[in-house]
Structure formats: C-alpha cells, structure tokens
Amino acid sequence: MPKYFEEESARFAALLEKLDGKRVAVLGHVRPDGDCIGAQLALCRILRSRGVDAVCVNHHRVPYNLKNFVRDTPFFHEDEFGNGDGGRIAVSVDCGNLSRLGKTLLEKAFPQGVFAAIDHHATNEFFASEENIVIPNAAATCHMLAAFCFDCGVPVDSALAEALYVGIGTDTGQFRYPSTTADVMEIAARLVRAGASPADISRELYEQEKFGKLALLQRYLATATLLADGEVALAWIPKDAFEATGTTREDADNFVNYLRAIAGVKIACQLEQSHTGVKGSLRGAEDWARVDLLAQKLNGGGHIRAAGFNLDGADLDRDRGKIADEIVAHLRERRAAL
C-alpha cells in the first residue's frame, strides 16, 4: 500500500528514535481544541508505548468535552506542572508559533525552547530547534500522526485510534470541510477498525452541553451584524456575558461557525475581551478569502479558512470598529485580486 506521507513519515520515525530514552513533555496551543488535545494524547501514547517517560502539558486546562478522552494519559495544566520536573524535552503539536504555546509555560518550565514540532498550519514559523515536521495541506495534526503510524507500522490500539479520530473529526468539521479528502476518509476508516467509535466520540463532543452555554450563545448572537453587503459577519461576547451566564471562555469556542453558516458570508469573525486585549476567531467560506493572511495582519495566524489573533492592549468596545474596518478592507483586497 502506498505511503500517505513518505518523506515526513521517515522523519517522524527518526524523531521517535531520537526521543527514545528521553523524558518528554508534549505541548499544545493555548485554548486547545480537539486536534490539539487529540494530537497531544496521541503522540504521548505513541512515546509511552516505546517506553519513553512522556507527559502532556498545556497552558490551559483540557476543555470539558474532551476530558474523557484523556483516560490514563498523564496530562498537566501549567499550574500543576509548576517549573517543570527535571528538564523534560519539549515537543509541540498543532502549534504554528512559540507564543501560541503560552509565554508563562515556556518561561517557567521550558526556557530551553522546543526541541521538535509537528504541525499542519500554513503559517508555521518553524520554531523548533531540532525538527519541524509541517504539512500545510494535511487536514489536521492528527491526520499527520495517524498517517505516520500507518506508514511506519506503529501499533494503533483503541485509545490511540480514539485520540486520532477526535482530532481529525473536529478539524474537518466532522468531515464537512474541503480538507476531507479520500485519504482522510480512508485513514478515519482504519481508525474505526482499530477501535475508535464515531458514535461515542460524537456524543462526548457534541451532546454534553451546559445550559449556561445556550444562554451565552443567545447573548453572542444578539450582537451579530453583517458588513460589506453581507459578505462579512461579525459578533462578539459582551464583557459581562461569562459571569452572567456562569460560563467560561472555552464555552464560546466555535460560536463563530454560526456566522460562517450564514448564506453569502465570506468571512466570519468572533471577538471577545481577553486578559491582555482582544481575541478574535476568523472563518472563511472560500479559499480566496485567506483568513490566515488577515490574521497575520492582526498579530495572529492559522489556516486558509480558519485562523485567530490576539491584539494586546486592545479594548473590545473601543477598537471593535477598527477591527471590522480591517476585515472589510482585507475582503475587498482579496476580491480585487481574483
């Protein structure tokens, strides 16, 4: 059977050999999603199956709808990890740049930086010191890891298959996005044969919602507005909404997809006030809109159709209009280039 990613799989196999006998921390990005957590769990399980002392560490806690997938894998929040536990080698997954790993986590526990990185973001900055395995056209980092496993003959048990399926499923919008290729579907099928249960995974991900999240969504959608003749949709989380609804920031993750689903919308943007400024999530309905390039203009990055940014020092109420103007200007610039 032809290999999915022959060159990159060989590099992955070589990386595993370099990590044998080491103490490893698998890092993921802030505000982790399904692909991030799935990739952290998957790589950690692969390493531990080889006898490597590996753990997962993240700046933020595992979202509530992903907690049950952790199972017996050692997974630490930044505060639990403290200043590290003896100089572990850092390997990052699903992260395009160092800042997305969390500044305080790196400063406290990994001042030596990141040894290796595995990622699929087109805006990846190749920040790891030893190895950067980046495949921008991969559907998910878990797509890469699953392909590496099958290409390299890494045993895939049900727990590993589950973690990989979670990442692929969430980053492809449950196999709805253009990144869903025949190879992706084939890999997903192989993961199901290895023990991943699409029904159980879907139930954990999408049928465990809190009532407060619905109240938060109601407040969010009440702010929705259309710009640029209906081609830009913008909405934001009111500053008091989390406290008023008893929710947290992770409950608002992916609300932006409601805007993206509006007929005629080419770019959707979700804004919220963070501790340091304004956080934005971007979604594009067409490749030409290039929300990854838009995110870069706003101190962020990501994928062609899904990206994000953080504007340090910005205020949601004061700067919302300026951000909207930047989005509209980008849309017009991209459309003019067609």
Residue 1: predicted pLDDT: 77
Rounded distance between C-alpha atoms, residue 23 and residue 166, angstroms: 26
Identify the sign of the CA torsion 27, 205, 64, 306.
positive
Q: What are phi and psi of 58, to 5 degrees?
A: -140, 150
Task: Tell me which amino acid residue 73 is.
Answer: T
User: Is residue 166 within 8 Å of 34, Cβ to Cβ?
Assistant: yes
| pLDDT in the model for residue 83 | 64
Res 84: pLDDT: 62
Do the beta carbons of residue 233 and residue 285 sit within 8 Å? no
Same fold, 6-205 and 212-336: no
Integer Cα distance of 67 and 243 in angstroms? 23
What are the CA-CA distances from residue 292 to residues 47, 247, 330 (Å)? 32, 29, 11
8 A C-beta contact, residue 152 and residue 175: no
pTM of the full structure: 0.90
pLDDT of residue 122: 86
Domain ranges of the chain: 6-205, 212-336
CATH fold label, 212-336: Diaminopimelate Epimerase; Chain A, domain 1 (3.10.310)
pLDDT tens for the chain, residues 1 to 338: 789 999 999 999 999 999 999 999 999 999 999 999 999 999 999 999 999 999 999 999 999 999 999 999 999 999 988 666 668 999 999 999 998 999 999 998 999 999 999 999 988 999 999 999 999 999 999 999 999 999 999 999 999 999 999 999 999 999 999 999 999 999 999 999 999 999 999 999 999 899 999 999 999 999 999 999 999 999 999 999 999 999 999 899 899 999 999 999 999 999 999 989 999 999 999 999 999 999 999 988 888 999 999 999 999 999 999 999 999 999 999 999 98
3-class DSSP string for the chain:
CCCCCHHHHHHHHHHHHHHCCCEEEEECCCCCCHHHHHHHHHHHHHHHHCCCEEEEEECCCCCHHHHHHCCCCCEEEHHHHCCCCCCCEEEEECCCCHHHHCHHHHHHHCCCCCCEEEECCCCCCCCCCCEEEECCCCCCHHHHHHHHHHHHCCCCCHHHHHHHHHHHHHHCCCCCCCCCCHHHHHHHHHHHHCCCCHHHHHHHHHCCCCHHHHHHHHHHHCCCEEECCCCEEEEECCCCHHHHHCCCHHHHCCCHHHHHCCCCCCEEEEEEECCCEEEEEEEECCHHHCHHHHHHHCCEEECCCEEEEEEECCCHHHHHHHHHHHHHHHHHHHHHCC
CATH class of residue range 6-205? alpha beta
pLDDT given for residue 49 in this prediction = 98
